[in-house]
Structure 1
Amino acid sequence: MTPGGGSGPMKDCEYSQISTHSSSSPMESPHKKKKSVPKRKWEVFPGRNKFFCNGRIMMARQTGVFYLTLVLILVTSGLFFAFDCPYLSEKITPAIPAIGGILFFFVMGTLLRTSFSDPGVLPRATPDEAADLERQIGNTEDIANGCSSGGYRPPPRTKEVIINGQTVKLKYCFTCKIFRPPRASHCSLCDNCVERFDHHCPWVGNCVGKRNYRFFYMFILSLSFLTVFIFAFVITHVILRSQQTGFLNALKDSPASVLEAVVCFFSVWSIVGLSGFHTYLISSNQTTNEDIKGSWSNKRGKENYNPYSYGNIFTNCCAALCGPLSPSLIDRRGFIQPDTPQLAGPSNGITMYGATQSQSNMAAATPLLQSEPSITSEELPLPGKTSLSGPCATLTLGQPTPPSSMPNLTSDSGLTDIIPLKEEHEGHQFLTPEEAPSPPGLLPSGSPIAHSRTMHVLSLASQDSLHEDSVRGLVKLSSV
């Protein structure tokens, strides 16, 4: 394209295409939070427990007596296998160390299963659940007793349910913020509500409840057999040696047998007695907590007959030892759900949540929403027109909007006042007639400005025509 008239140099004004994907305004880029590593639930567990192996092992905080139990079992059994079993297998039968080994491994397996498992801890109420329950309780108490004074803690709250014809009271736990289910109780040492709570056993380092009671019973029962077994064959070993070399010489030849006999003698009574007591509880389907409190009676004629008993010893034992094992309710190895990152709103108060693709494309395709400020009637006073209706609207490329009216501009003085506009405001990025695109079809056919999609070449024929075209372009932008 050649310059018109040859009177002025050719000036190229290049307009870059606006990319709707690469460019993004501060309004469209939400604030991104740093991703935090999710924590396991056992790391923030509210109870007084200790966890090992990434939450797989759960124990009480006081485990000193548990280690004493381990030492006693390991030392006594180790001495028996080291000093007594070789002589007994030679003199009597090799089956003695085999039976002793089976009992030992069974005792250790049930002990560790009891100590390292979840006894049946009930999860605490969430803040929303606790608030809702407190609201319900408060409304009920207000209706029953009138308005309660602030700061007054009401007496222990209870609910009544009927189980097999017996009325059972459900107590409210002020620590866990829940109504405990039947047979559940709050352990003061572990600070947890345990389902079918039996007792807290320091010898195993854990509570004994619904999920580990069967393993606890098998532990004390097998330990009773192991203790009796070791004690009996230690005495047999001493007797056989005393027949050959005398009693004192037999004690000198096997001093470990004396230590084993003393430990087994003082422990067998408590262990066997504990096994018999829990055998009675299983046959009647009771817990240690219920038996100590005297909650139920085994006689059907009485009013406080045990509603949990099946009426048959065999059925009660099968229900306690062979029933399905319920899953853990606390999910201690599960992940805590991280907080949902909040999108930062723009500074001008416009919310960008849920913006559609068409809206973002429209914002990116609008030239006046970019870094160049818009031209308003207040910034460019035009002669012959006192004021314009408002700020100039956005101009979209390829979709021109014809102006509603064309004001008459005849004053030459006003044209000369607008010419130095770009020079006066070089520090500001205002659109000038040379930079603004002219919509096709709105200029006269003889206009020196030709429209192109990516390139516009301005031909400067004369100073008067440039003034006229400049004012016309400004008026078009203002009218649109």
Structure 2
Amino acid sequence: MTLVSRRSTRSESTSITKEEHTEGASLTKLFFRWLITLEGDQDINDGKGYISLPNVSNYIFFFGGRFRTIKGARPLWLGVLFIIICPMVLFSIFEAHKLWHTQNGYKVLVIFFYYFWALTLISFIRTATSDPGVLPRNIHLGQLQNNYQTPQEYYNLITLPTHPSVSKDITIKYCQSCRIWRPPRSSHCSTCNVCIMVHDHHCVWVNNCIGKRNYRFFLIFLLSAIFSSIFLLSNCAVHIARESGGPRNYPVAILLTCYAGLTVWYPAILFTYHIFMAGTQQTTREFLKGIGSKKNPVFHRVVKEQNIFDKGSFLGNLGYLMLEPRGSSFVSARKTHNAADWRFMNLSPAHSFEKNQRF
């Protein structure tokens, strides 16, 4: 009896040890999945949204869905991040101390530079990693007929009635990829593989779409980048003007002056273009469709067209853009959902409810 009891005790302890090891491994897996979610798990369709969203999109999530980016795209955003951080580091090491300790009141220039630089970095991160307005999938599914194909009427365009003074119609189109009737001004992004509310364009420099929920962050990023370059240029110009001797005494100031003078133009051109777009209540997609071109819209003259979304004035449109509520996220990466949530199921073009039913 004693031997059997000892064997039973050893078996139980071994079983407990295996369970603890399995639990520890699962906790470790969950932690790394929380840290970075590169690929979704087709066998898991419940829990937090960041676990399931990679199954139906091209998103990569970090820190439990708090940040996102696109997989498979060129990492140009890393170059932009380097361009933002590197000048600040050089300025802090070689220039800030000298300007801060002058007796002519140049401290305010240093403060303004750091303020707009911090605003540039924060708005860049919010633009690049926040939800641009992703619409849920599989909301309007076809009936179980014709081998579960999309009904023929779903291929038609729906025209909404507008005011008689507006010549352009508002059309609603069914998205075959997301299986939803897209709201007005929404569009499907093939890079992100999602539909975006009030989709303006997909920006390769931030590796994210610009839509309803992050468009104002994009404008703030461009404006703060302009002022950051201007104050960097001003600080370095003051140092060069006050420094005695040849250029060998202030090589970093010359380098930063050239950098600021060159980098201020691109965000300035983009900001000017988007201000005219926002002031006329047009998105880039609508503008390109109106002029019948797919080339860079920056090089085309912005023409105000009749628009049902126009608030009546240039400043009114800008104010509406900056002050309107962002709205809640339709597909939150941090909220919990259950396994029966169709928004996170990747359905094939010819699908069956029976094949995809998980409850």
The TM-score, its normalising length taken from structure 2, stands at 0.71
Q: Letter of the aligned partner of 1:64 in structure 2? A: P
Distance in 1 between residues matched to 2:84 and 2:103, nearest whole Å: 25
Which of 38, 41, 45 pairs up with 2:49? 41
The 3 A distance-change label for structure 1 pair 198 and 139 is closer
Residues 197-276 of structure 1: matches in 2 within 5 Å? 197-241=199-243, 244-245=244-245, 249=246, 251-276=247-272
- CA deviation vs aligned residue, 1:285-316 (integer Å, no higher than 9, x gap): 111221222279966xxxx6111111112211
**What is the RMSD of the two structures over their aligned residues, measured on CA atoms?**
2.7
Question: Using the alignment, how far apart are the partners of 2:45 and 2:132 within structure 1?
Answer: 29
Unaligned runs of 5+ in 2: 1-43, 293-301, 341-359
The 3 A distance-change label for structure 1 pair 106 and 123 is same
2:24 match = none
8 Å Cα contact 2:186-2:197 kept in structure 1: yes
Q: Is the CA contact 2:237–2:257 (under 8 Å) kept in the aligned structure 1?
A: yes
Contact 1:85 1:96 in 2 (8 A): no
Q: Does 1:56 align with 2:66?
A: yes
Change in CA separation of 1:237 and 1:159 when aligned onto 2, cut-off 3 Å: same
1:179 Cα shift? Answer: 1.8
- 1:193 corresponding residue in structure 2: 195
How big is the shift at 1:41? 2.2
- Matches of 1:312 and 1:208, distance apart in 2: 23
The 3-state SS of whatever aligns with 1:186 is: strand
1:131 counterpart letter in structure 2: G
Report the counterpart of residue 86 of structure 2 in structure 1. 75
The letter for the 2-side match of 1:72 is: I
Is structure 2 residue 284 aligned with structure 1 residue 284? no
Greater Cα radius of gyration, structure 1 or 2 = 1
Q: Partner residue of 1:104?
A: 117
Structure with the larger helix share: 2
> 1:104–1:262: structure 2 CA closer, same or farther, 3 Å change rule?
same
Q: Secondary structure at the match of 2:173?
A: strand
CA contact (8 A) 2:60 2:70 kept: yes
Instruction: Compute the displacement of 1:104 (Å).
Output: 1.4
Q: 1:102 to 1:133 in 2, by over 3 A?
A: farther
Residues 159 and 232 of structure 1, relative CA distance in 2, 3 Å threshold: same
Structure 1 residue 259: Cα displacement: 2.2
Note the 1:421-460 alignment, pairs <5 A.
none
Residues 142, 149 of structure 2: 8 Å contact kept: no
Percent of aligned pairs with the same residue?
28
Question: Residue 132 of structure 1: which of 134, 140, 143 is its match?
Answer: 143
Task: Find the aligned partners of 1:103 and 1:134 in 2 and give their Cα distance.
Answer: 58
Q: CA shift at 1:100, angstroms?
A: 1.3
Residue 19 of structure 1: aligned partner:
none
After superposition, the Cα gap between the structure-2 partners of 1:49 and 1:188, relative to the gap in structure 1 and judged at 3 Å, is same
Letter in 2 for 1:78: V
For 2:144 and 2:281, locate their aligned partners in 1 and report how far apart those are by CA, in whole Å.
Answer: 32
TM-score by length of 1: 0.54
How many residue pairs align between the two structures? 279
- What is residue 178 of structure 1 aligned with on the other side? 180
2:158 is matched with which residue?
A: 159
Give, as a single letter, the amino acid of the residue that structure 2 aligns with 1:65: L
Report SS of the residue matched to 1:131.
coil
- TM-superposed CA distance for 1:331, in Å, is 2.0
SS of 1:175 mapped into structure 2 = coil
Structure 1 residues 162 and 255: alpha-carbon distance in aligned structure 2, compared to 1, 3 A threshold: same
Provide the secondary structure at the position in 2 that maps to 1:51.
strand
User: Do 1:298 and 1:305's aligned partners in 2 also have CA atoms closer than 8 Å?
Assistant: no
Distance 1:276 1:137 in 2: 46
Letter in 1 for 2:256: E
Deviations along 1:99-142, whole A, 9 cap, x unmatched? 1111111111111111121000111115xx4123988997665x
What residue in structure 1 maps to residue 25 of structure 2?
none
Query: C-alpha displacement at 1:84, in angstroms?
Result: 2.0
Residue of structure 2 in register with 1:116 after alignment: 129
Give the partner amino acid of 2:70: A
Partner Cα separation in structure 1 for residue 81 and residue 222 of structure 2? 13
Aligned residue for 1:293?
Answer: 289
1:272 and 1:139, CA in 2 relative to 1: closer, same or farther beyond 3 A? closer
C-alpha separation in 2, matches of 1:37 and 1:307:
40
Secondary structure at the aligned position of 2:258 is classed as helix
The equivalent residue for 2:308 is 307
- The answer on whether the counterparts of 1:100 and 1:229 sit within 8 Å (CA) in structure 2 is yes
Q: Does 1:88 align with 2:113?
A: no
Distance 1:51 1:138, change over 3 A: closer
Asked if the contact 1:81/1:97 (under 8 Å) is kept, the reply is no
Whole-angstrom distance in 1 between the partners of 2:272 and 2:92: 28
Deviation at 1:329? Answer: 0.2
